[in-house]
C-alpha cells in the first residue's frame, strides 16, 4: 500500500511539487525567522548574565525606556536607600540623523546619556561590556562618544574620527562590545550632551541604574525601593531586565509562528485540493480496488499515506532550506542565528501533521465511493 501511495504522487508531478513547495516555504520561513529571534535572545542573556545592579523606571512603565521619563530628583532619594552606593541617571533616545542622513525608522540605533561624574566614581555603567579600542570616559568629558561595535562597523568609524549625531559633531574616544549585536547598536555620551542634541528636559531622565555596595543584594535593594516608592517607581534587577527583553522576544516568536501557521494553512489547502483532484481522477481505480476486497479503511489509509508523504517530503526539504538560510544567508546581514534541535524537529513534525490533517477529508470522500457507480462511470 505504501509503494502504491508513493507511485500515485508521481502521476501528476507538477501538482505534487506545488503542494510540496507550500510546505517547504512554511517550514523554511519558520526555522529562519525563529533562529534569528533565538539568536537575539541568546545574545541578550549573555550580555546581562554578568551584569549586577538595579534599574529603576516609572511605576506605570510597560514599554522601552526610550518612551518613558521620571523626575531627576529621584536620584538623591534613591542614593539614601540602604545598600545603594550610586544612583546613576540615564537618558536613552533614538537619533534623528547620523552623519547628515536621517535615521532609519526601523533602525535599532540608540544614543545613551550617562552622568559621567557618577560613572567615574562607580565601577559599573549598568551593563556588562568590554572596551575594545580607545579609552573609557573621564568625568570632565564633553563632545565625545563611545561607540558600540555594531555602530563602528556600520558607519566605518575608528577611534579619533568624528561622527555627527543630530547635526552635532562628536569625537570617538573608544569602541565597546557587550556580546549582543542589539545592545552594541548604541552610542554613549555625557548626559549633558544628550540633553543638548535631543532637547530632553533638564529635570527628567529615562531611568536610573543603582550600583550597590554588595551586588549580591540586588533583589533585596529592589524590594526596598518598591516598598518605599512602589506607587511612583518600579525597581528590577538587571537580570530581571534581561527577562523583560526575552518576554518581548517571546511575543515576536509567537508572531513568527502565527505567520508560519498561515503559510502552513495555505499549504494544507493546496494538499487538500491535490488529493481531491487525485480522488476524482482515480474514480474507477478506487472502485476497482473496493470491488476486489479493499475496505473503506484501506482506501482512507492509502490517501492519508499520500498526503503524509507530501508533508514528509516538504518537511525534509523545508528543514534543509531553513537551516541553510539560517546558517549561511542570514549572517551575511550581521544577524546572529541559533538553530536548535527542538526548532528543527518541531518544524519537521509540524509539516507531517499538516500533511496528515490535509488528507483526512479527501480520504473520507474516497472511502465513501460506491464501487458499482465507480466502475459504471465513463
- Which own/partner pairs from 215-224 qualify as long-range (CB within 8 Å, at least 24 positions apart)? 215/52, 215/53, 216/52, 217/83, 218/52, 218/53, 218/54, 220/83, 221/54, 221/81, 221/82, 221/83, 221/84, 222/54, 224/81, 224/82, 224/83
Beta strands 186-190; 110-114: pairing state:
parallel
| Cβ 309 vs Cβ 6: under 8 Å | yes
Q: What pTM, to 2 d.p., does this model score?
A: 0.62
Residue 69: name the closest of 80, 81, 61 by CA.
Answer: 61
Q: What is the pLDDT along the chain (378 residues), one digit of tens a residue?
A: 566 656 666 667 777 888 888 889 889 988 998 888 888 777 666 666 556 689 899 998 766 778 889 999 999 999 999 999 999 999 999 999 999 888 765 567 899 999 998 887 766 544 456 889 999 999 899 999 999 988 898 899 999 999 999 999 999 999 998 777 767 888 999 999 999 999 999 999 999 999 999 888 888 999 999 999 999 999 988 766 666 666 666 777 787 778 777 877 877 887 787 777 776 667 677 777 777 777 878 878 888 888 888 889 999 999 999 999 999 988 887 677 889 999 999 999 988 988 888 888 877 777 776 655 555 555
C-alpha grid cell, residue 110: 540608540
Amino acid at each position: 500500500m505504501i509503494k502504491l501511495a508513493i507511485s500515485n504522487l508521481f502521476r501528476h508531478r507538477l501538482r505534487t511539487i506545488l503542494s510540496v513547495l507550500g510546505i517547504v516555504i512554511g517550514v523554511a520561513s519558520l526555522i529562519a525567522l525563529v533562529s534569528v529571534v533565538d539568536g537575539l535572545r541568546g545574545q541578550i542573556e549573555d550580555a546581562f548574565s554578568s551584569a549586577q545592579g538595579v534599574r529603576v523606571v516609572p511605576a506605570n512603565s510597560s514599554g522601552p525606556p526610550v518612551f518613558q521619563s521620571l523626575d531627576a530628583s529621584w536620584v538623591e532619594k534613591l542614593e539614601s536607600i540602604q545598600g545603594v552606593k550610586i544612583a546613576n541617571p540615564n537618558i536613552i533616545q533614538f537619533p534623528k540623523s547620523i552623519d547628515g542622513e536621517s535615521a532609519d525608522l526601523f533602525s535599532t540605533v540608540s544614543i545613551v546619556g550617562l552622568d559621567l561624574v557618577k560613572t567615574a566614581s562607580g565601577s559599573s555603567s549598568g551593563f556588562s561590556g568590554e572596551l575594545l579600542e580607545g579609552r573609557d570616559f573621564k568625568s570632565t568629558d564633553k563632545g565625545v562618544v563611545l561607540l558600540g561595535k555594531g555602530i563602528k562597523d556600520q558607519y566605518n568609524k575608528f577611534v579619533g574620527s568624528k561622527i555627527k549625531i543630530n547635526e552635532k559633531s562628536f569625537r570617538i574616544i573608544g569602541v565597546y562590545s557587550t556580546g549582543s549585536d542589539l545592545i552594541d547598536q548604541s552610542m554613549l555620551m555625557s548626559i549633558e550632551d544628550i540633553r543638548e542634541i535631543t532637547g530632553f528636559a533638564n529635570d527628567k531622565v529615562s531611568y536610573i541604574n543603582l550600583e550597590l555596595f554588595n551586588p549580591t543584594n540586588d533583589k533585596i535593594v529592589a524590594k526596598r525601593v518598591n516598598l518605599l516608592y512602589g506607587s511612583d517607581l518600579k525597581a528590577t534587577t538587571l537580570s530581571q531586565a534581561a527577562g523583560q527583553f526575552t518576554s518581548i522576544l517571546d511575543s515576536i516568536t509567537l508572531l513568527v509562528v502565527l505567520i508560519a501557521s498561515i503559510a502552513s494553512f495555505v499549504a494544507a489547502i493546496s494538499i487538500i485540493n491535490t488529493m481531491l483532484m487525485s480522488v476524482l481522477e482515480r474514480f474507477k481505480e478506487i472502485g476497482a480496488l473496493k470491488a476486489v476486497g479493499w475496505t473503506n479503511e484501506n482506501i482512507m489509509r492509502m490517501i492519508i499515506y499520500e498526503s503524509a508523504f507530501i508533508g514528509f517530503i516538504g518537511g525534509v526539504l523545508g528543514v534543509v532550506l531553513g537551516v541553510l538560510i539560517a546558517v549561511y544567508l542570514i549572517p551575511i546581514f550581521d544577524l546572529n542565528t541559533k538553530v536548535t534541535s527542538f526548532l528543527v524537529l518541531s518544524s519537521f513534525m509540524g509539516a507531517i501533521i499538516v500533511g496528515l490533517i490535509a488528507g483526512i477529508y479527501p480520504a473520507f470522500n474516497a472511502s465513501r465511493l460506491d464501487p458499482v457507480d465507480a466502475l459504471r462511470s465513463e
